């Protein structure tokens, strides 16, 4: 059975309709044969009824009191008419010589009618029983005729049918196979083409002959999948290239600092300084690897969120409080304000990471004595946190890319600050994982607003009907 | 104090040995899980530092067998894997603490000290070093009799540095123990640097002898100035 399912679709299709056709033809043949057989029998029976009437006229009682049948040169007698005449009390009065002593069954029980029977030697016969009077004497006339010819005709017909059936099935099977093959040919060519599309040739697409039909639909779906695959491969390629660049930078520093130090000679403090400088780069590498790991685990969906109700203003104040000293060092004013009632449901640690990264970014890019605003509010049922800096702004062509991994506006500067180039990507992931998004809003005036939108959490207090809350 | 270090990477093993010996511990090295298991079950150690990924017998396997045999010695597991669920399976196997590779050495020695003195709580009500006095109950700081005003964070920072006086404290340790940050994100390091700079301004700037020192690439330390 399982072997059948492993065969090709066209073989399976052909097998399927060949077997359906066979079953239908068999049913049809059986029905026809049965009908034919019944017709033949009816004919025999009709002849038999006529014959028995003829025979009755020929019966007479001889002078010796025995029943005789007047000889009559009938042509139809070749098959031999089998005749018995019984008395009412069950004694045999006459038996035709053609019977050769065979009997047509037991003494009649007084019923008239036609029945089928088998003689002792196996010959099938049709028998008619009729009440009759010879003169005044009641007798039972029993006339039989062999069914041999009937069966012969029947089997002839059956054999004609059974020769025709396999021929018809074979014809339909072959035609069906050819049709299925033709119908599936575009599928085969699509498969061959898809086989040739590898990671290196993802830009290629399947040819679609008829976009409207089922195969065209399949082709479109495959092409869309290929497009998505191509995009993610492209992202991966860029990410790998960027990541190796980022990793190579500190590695190069470690290497050259070490090599130069070994060529020179210096005192203990010199070497301490060298080792320290190398360790700084190691720290940078470690941080980078940690961030990459976080991102890859986030991509794989392996960072479980521990959700709880988080008051947003609280979280914003906490995040800003952590970074306040950085702003103070640059004489910046970091202001947190907004609606204390706004809350979201989420993982506090992860959400805070997003906010810390955004605020850190704002501190970094705002000038000395600049202003940074963190505003909490709600809008269209969303909880909103805005982080507004007073930096130089982001040129329009860069705006869509700032959330990309390792994307930097000013490459040299942000690496100097110890950034990994992943801060905004991580923030975007953190907000996205909570079903929210970050919008970038840069107006004409300097500075940009990073706006976090998160689904607002409705506290139970708000959902309790007024009457109930009044009671408490 | 005897410490068994089970670590297959020779460079790391050697660094661990030298670093721990510099802290006056007696160190025995094992390169494989089997060796480690043999040494741990035949000799008495005060602490075992066990690498997770070992050739032959996996570190956690060694650990759980040792624990089943009733070994009570505290075990510090080193691992390159940092997934939370893996940490949990390490705890189940009987580890007392973890350190994710690559770790900062001061962090390792701090954990080792913590494990070794486990149960022996030291609640010193005050700390002092070279004229600087810190009253942990009254929460006041004076240097040479002059009162120094510190913010809460600066006070906690100084307390942590003083508890570890003479030793180097890494930024990781400060982030975790003083700032209670579970994630080591970049901005925290900058925040720590700023706070250390401010602390230094308050307790060192007016004085000839400096107490807070930066160890480049590693972290900070409080120690008496070498004249």
Largest Cα separation within chain B, whole Å, is 61
A97 near B CB under 8 A: no
Whether A295 contacts A405, CB under 8 Å = yes
- Among left, alpha and beta (phi > 0; psi -120 to 50; other), residue B24 is left
Q: How far is residue B217's CA from residue B223's CA, in Å, rounded to a whole number? A: 18
B215: chain A residues, CB-CB within 8 Å: 276
Confidence of residue B39 (pLDDT cuts 50, 70, 90): very high
A299 interface with B at CB cutoff 8 Å: no
- Per-residue model confidence as pLDDT tens digits over B56-109: 778 888 888 898 888 889 999 888 765 555 666 666 778 888 888 888 888 899
Could you say which of B184, B190, B217 has the minimum Cβ distance to residue A277?
B217
- Chain B residues in contact with A275 by the CB 8 A cut-off are 216-217
Closest CA to A313 of A372, A359, A383, A376: A376
Q: Mean pLDDT of all residues in chain B?
A: 86
- B-chain residues within 8 Å CB-CB of A349? 182-183
Residues on chain B touching A318 (C-beta within 8 angstroms)? none
Q: What is the DSSP string of A335-374?
A: EEEE-TT-EEEE-HHHHHHHHHHHHHHHHHHSPTT-EEEE
Q: Tell me the shortest Cα–Cα distance from A338 to chain B, in angstroms.
A: 24
List the strands of the sheet with A113-118, edge to edge. A92-95, A82-87, A137-146, A124-134, A113-118
CA distance A234 to chain B (A): 28
Q: For A83-140, write each residue's pLDDT tens digit.
A: 888 877 777 777 776 666 666 766 666 677 887 877 777 778 888 888 888 777 788 8
SS3 content of chain B, % helix, strand, coil (to 5): 40, 20, 35
In chain B the domains, ranked by start, together with CATH numbers, are: 2-117 (3.40.50.2300), 126-222 (1.10.10.10)
- Chain A residues touching B195 at Cβ < 8 A: 325
Substitution target from B153, B184, B190 for chain A, most A beta carbons within 10 A? B190
pLDDT at A465 over 50: no
- Which residue, among B192, B122, B191, B119, has the nearest Cα to B163 in the 3D structure? B122
pTM score: 0.65
pLDDT classification of A288: cutoffs 50, 70, 90: confident
Q: Do A423 and B186 touch (CB under 8 A)?
A: yes
- pLDDT digit string, tens, across residues A141-200: 888 888 888 889 899 989 988 888 889 889 988 998 898 888 888 888 888 888 888 777
Q: Is A440 helix (H, G, I), strand (E, B) or coil?
A: strand
Q: Pinpoint the alpha helices (H) of B26-104.
A: 33-42, 59-68, 84-93
């Amino acid at each position: 059975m399982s072997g059948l399912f492993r065969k090709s679709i066209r073989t399976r299709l052909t097998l399927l309709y060949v077997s359906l056709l066979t079953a239908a033809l068999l049913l049809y043949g059986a029905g026809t044969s049965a009908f034919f057989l019944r017709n033949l029998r009816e004919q025999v029976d009709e002849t038999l009824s006529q014959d028995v009437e003829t025979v009755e006229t020929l019966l007479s009682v001889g002078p010796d009191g025995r029943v005789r049948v007047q000889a009559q040169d009938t042509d139809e007698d070749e098959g031999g008419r089998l005749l018995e005449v019984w008395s009412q009390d069950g004694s045999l009065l006459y038996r035709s010589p053609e019977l050769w002593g065979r009997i047509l069954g037991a003494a009649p029980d007084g019923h008239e009618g036609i029945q089928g029977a088998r003689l002792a030697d196996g010959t099938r016969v049709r028998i008619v029983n009729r009440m009759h009077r010879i003169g005044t004497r009641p007798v039972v006339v029993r006339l039989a005729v062999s069914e041999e010819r009937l069966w012969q005709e029947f089997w002839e017909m059956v054999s004609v049918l059974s020769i025709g059936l396999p021929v018809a099935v074979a014809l339909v099977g072959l035609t069906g196979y050819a049709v299925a093959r033709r119908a599936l040919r575009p599928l085969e060519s699509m498969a061959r083409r898809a086989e040739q599309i590898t990671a290196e040739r993802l830009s290629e697409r399947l040819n679609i002959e008829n976009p409207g039909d089922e195969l065209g639909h399949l082709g479109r779906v495959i092409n869309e999948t290929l497009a998505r695959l191509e995009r993610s491969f492209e992202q991966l390629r860029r990410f790998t290239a960027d990541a190796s660049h980022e990793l190579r930078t500190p590695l190069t520093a470690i290497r050259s600092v070490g090599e130069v130090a070994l060529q020179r000679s210096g005192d203990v403090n010199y070497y301490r300084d060298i080792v320290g400088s190398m360790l700084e780069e190691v720290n940078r590498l470690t941080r980078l690897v940690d961030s990459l790991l976080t991102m890859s685990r986030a991509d794989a969906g392996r960072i479980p969120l521990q959700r709880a109700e988080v008051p947003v203003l609280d979280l914003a104040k906490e995040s800003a409080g952590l970074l306040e000293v950085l702003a103070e060092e640059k004489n910046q004013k970091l202001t947190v304000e907004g609606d204390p009632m706004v809350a979201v449901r989420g993982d506090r640690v992860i959400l805070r990471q997003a906010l810390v990264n955004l605020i850190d970014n704002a501190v970094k890019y705002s000038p000395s004595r600049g202003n940074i605003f963190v505003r909490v509010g709600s809008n269209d049922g969303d909880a909103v946190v805005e982080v507004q800096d007073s930096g130089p702004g982001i040129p329009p062509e860069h705006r869509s890319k700032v959330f990309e991994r390792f994307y930097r506006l000013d490459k040299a500067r942000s690496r100097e600050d110890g950034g990994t180039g992943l801060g905004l990507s991580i923030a975007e992931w953190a907000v996205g994982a909570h079903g929210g998004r970050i919008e970038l809003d840069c107006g004409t005036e300097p500075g940009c607003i990073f706006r976090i939108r998160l689904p607002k959490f409705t506290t139970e207090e708000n959902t309790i009907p007024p009457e109930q809350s009044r009671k408490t | 104090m005897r410490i068994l270090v089970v670590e297959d990477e020779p460079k790391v093993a050697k660094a661990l040995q030298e670093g721990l010996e510099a802290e006056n511990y007696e160190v025995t090295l094992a390169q494989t899980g089997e060796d480690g298991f043999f040494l741990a079950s035949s000799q008495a150690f005060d602490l075992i530092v066990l690498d997770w990924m070992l050739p032959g017998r996996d570190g956690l396997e060694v650990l759980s067998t040792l624990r089943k045999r009733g070994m009570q010695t505290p075990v510090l597991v080193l691992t390159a894997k940092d997934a939370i669920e893996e940490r949990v399976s390490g705890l189940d196997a009987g580890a007392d603490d973890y350190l994710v590779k690559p770790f900062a050495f001061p962090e390792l020695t701090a954990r080792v000290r913590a494990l070794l003195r486990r149960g022996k709580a030291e609640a010193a009500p005050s700390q002092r070093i070279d004229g600087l006095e810190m009253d942990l109950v009254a929460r006041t700081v004076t240097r040479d009799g002059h009162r120094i005003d510190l913010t809460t964070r600066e006070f906690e920072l100084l307390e942590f540095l003083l508890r570890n006086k003479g030793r180097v404290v890494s930024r990781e340790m400060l982030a975790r123990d003083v700032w209670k940050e579970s994630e080591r994100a970049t901005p925290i390091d900058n925040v720590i640097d700023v706070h250390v700079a401010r602390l230094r301004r308050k307790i060192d700037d007016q004085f000839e002898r400096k107490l807070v020192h930066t160890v480049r690439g590693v972290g900070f330390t409080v120690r008496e100035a070498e004249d």
